Amino acid sequence: MSPTRRSILKTLAAASTASALSAWTAFAQSAYPTRPVRVVVPYAAGGGTDFFARLVFAAMGEQLGQQFVIENKPGAGTNIGADTAARAEPDGYTLLLGDTATFATNRTLYRKLSFDPYKDFTPISLTGRFALVLLVNTNKLPVKSVQELVAEAKKNPGRINYATPGLGSPFHLATELLSQGAGIKLTHVPYRGAAPAVQDLVAGQVDMMFIDFATARSQISGPIQAIAVASPQEFSGLPGVPPVAADYSGFEAWAWQGFVAPVNTPSDIVTKLNDTYRRVIGDAEIRAKLIGAGIDVLQSSPSEMAAYMQEEGAKWEKVIRTAGITLE
């Protein structure tokens, strides 16, 4: 056989193999998923993010004919779970339901991070956000509005203290945003979780705190009053409670979440997951359960989520650096 013919046949064989592989890859992706999908939730079972995951991804599994298995990996402000997902194969069989910390604030809060939220993940969709409510124990801090709160803080810098579920949490950063915007000094009292923080607010050990609406609504009674919300307009769940933005234009803070896959996950799998998610949250019963849990349901394109991550990252980076907050 001549060298030219041998070369041609070799080229054709290689092309045939490549074509076959391409066809098989396309088939495998169109048939996705063909086995259970792991969904990493970087929080312990029982919280709002876990509730969302178990409800929504179970329904997605029913639509796609495969189980979506929730794997709770809490710790290090969502970093343990995020690192697990970032290191997984980009084949669509590992997803991550992360939040504000995972995708926007931890990159600035932590001195060292084993993953880059912008480079190591492929966004799929924003999923939801939790309205933040400013609660005050009026027996300890007798104010009825943000204006009165700011006036008191300016008269007595550092005297007013506030609780948070932890350093660097969305609730901590929302309070820092208020402090910086109003030019006041408040004293931070961090707790290990929301439950003990709320308990001490009710007991009068602390003056005030931002907390999510789902937690806040069961506490608003007697001396515990909501004086503002962190959404840009009034929140439907608390009619008559004004936004902080009414006094400080542009103020906005949410605890939000979204789901991603490891970077380089095939685009048609990402599209399939995005489309399935949209169908699931369009179901009236599922949507009602999410809203009932205090979740403002969101949907987005992958590019919209990527842009939102960048926007939120830049916004909170400024707040974190101004406040000098760092975590190990």
pLDDT digits (tens, 9 = 90+) for 287-325: 999 998 889 999 999 999 999 999 999 999 999 999 999
| Average of per-residue pLDDT across 32-45 | 95
Instruction: Give me the helices (H) in the chain, please.
Output: 3-31, 48-64, 79-86, 100, 106-109, 146-155, 170-182, 194-203, 213-216, 267-281, 284-292, 302-323
Evaluated on CA atoms 131, 100, 191, 294, the torsion sign reads: positive
pLDDT band at 25 (very low <50, low <70, confident <90, very high): very low
pLDDT band at 126 (very low <50, low <70, confident <90, very high): very high
Instruction: Specify the 3-state DSSP secondary structure of 20.
Output: helix
Closest CA to 302 of 268, 270, 262, 257: 270
Q: By CB neighbour count within 10 A (0-12 exposed, 13-18 middle, 19+ buried), where does 241 fall?
A: middle
| Residue pLDDT, tens place only, 132-174 | 999 999 999 999 999 999 999 999 999 999 999 989 999 999 9
Average pLDDT over residues 181-208: 95
Burial class (CB in 10 A: 0-12, 13-18, 19+), 65: exposed
Q: Would you call 158 helix, strand, or coil by DSSP?
A: coil
Return the structure tokens found at 90: 């980009």
Phi, psi of 207 (to 5 degrees): -85, -40
Angle at 36 between CA 35 and CA 39, to 5 degrees: 140
The confidence score (pLDDT) of residue 230 equals 95
* Alpha carbon distance 168, 161 (integer Å): 16
| Domains, the chain, ordered by start | 35-129+255-323 (3.40.190.150), 131-246 (3.40.190.10)
In angstroms, the CA 224 to CA 206 distance is 11
State both tokens at 294.
Answer: 């205090």
Cα 126 to chain center, whole Å? 8
- In which band, very low, low, confident or very high, does the pLDDT at 193 lie, cut at 50, 70 and 90? confident
Q: Quick check: helix, strand or coil at residue 295? A: strand
Residue 181 burial (CB count, 10 A): 17
To which residue do tokens 């932890």 refer? 166
- Across all residues in the chain, what is the average pLDDT? 91
Output the pTM of the full model.
Answer: 0.86
pLDDT of residue 304: 98
Contact 87, 81 (CB under 8 A): no
Whether 228 and 143 have beta carbons less than 8 Å apart is answered as no
Helix (DSSP H) and strand (DSSP E) numbers for the chain: 12, 10
The predicted structure's pLDDT at residue 46: 82
Mean pLDDT of 176-195: 94
Three-class DSSP category at 76: helix
Nearest to 98 by CA among 57, 39, 46: 39
